[in-house]
Amino acid sequence: MLKRQEILERIPQADPFVFLDTAEVAEDSVVGSYRITGEEFFTKGHFPGRPIFPASILTEALGQLGVVYMMERFREAGIDPESIFFIKSESVNCRRKCLPGDLLEMHLQVVRSREPLIQFSGKILVGSEMALKIDLLTLSFSTLG
């Protein structure tokens, strides 16, 4: 299992815009977690006095988890971190507000992987409750050399 510091060493994103505390990569999937602190930079304005973790940031967290998967699984191929970009998401459904103190349990499953694209389906749970479901999250990449 990768901890936050190891994640920061592997992905092109940096604090304060990293929303992963742990990640565990398997052959065709990756799981990760993030505890919402309420101290995230955007909570003062989203919404004052009642901070809610935005759905767009939940989607970003899943994208970052996908990047961890790519950097670990394709380490031998040598992915160029500067080539990784979010391409699209399809059928994103939010089903629960995520609030300070919530532990986000993130799951991604590889649907298709062939350079220059990798596609995942995913979900975020808070306990046993579905917080977000995404049918397709697509990232682009290229290998070095």
Q: Just list the catalytic residues.
A: 46
Asked if residue 145 is part of any domain, the answer here is no
Helical segments of the chain, H only: 4-10, 55-73
Q: According to the model, what pLDDT value does residue 99 have?
A: 96
Q: Into how many domains does the chain fold?
A: 1
Residue 63 lies inside a defined structural domain of this protein: yes
- The pTM for the full model equals 0.95
- State how far the alpha carbon of 53 is from the alpha carbons of 2, 10, 16, 70, 74, in Å: 23, 24, 14, 25, 31
Residue 141 φ/ψ, nearest 5 degrees: -160, 165
Q: What pLDDT is stored for residue 4 in this prediction?
A: 98
Q: Which residues have CB under 8 Å from 9's CB, separation 6+?
A: none
**Is 51 part of a structural domain of the chain?**
yes
Say what the pLDDT of residue 145 is: 63
What number is the average pLDDT over the span 44-73? 94
**CATH code, domain with 119:** 3.10.129.10
Instruction: For residue 83, tell me if it sits in a domain.
Output: yes
Residue 105 in any domain: the answer is yes
Identify which of 2, 45, 1, 40 has the alpha carbon closest to the alpha carbon of residue 19.
Answer: 40
Look up the domain containing 125 and give its range. Answer: 2-140
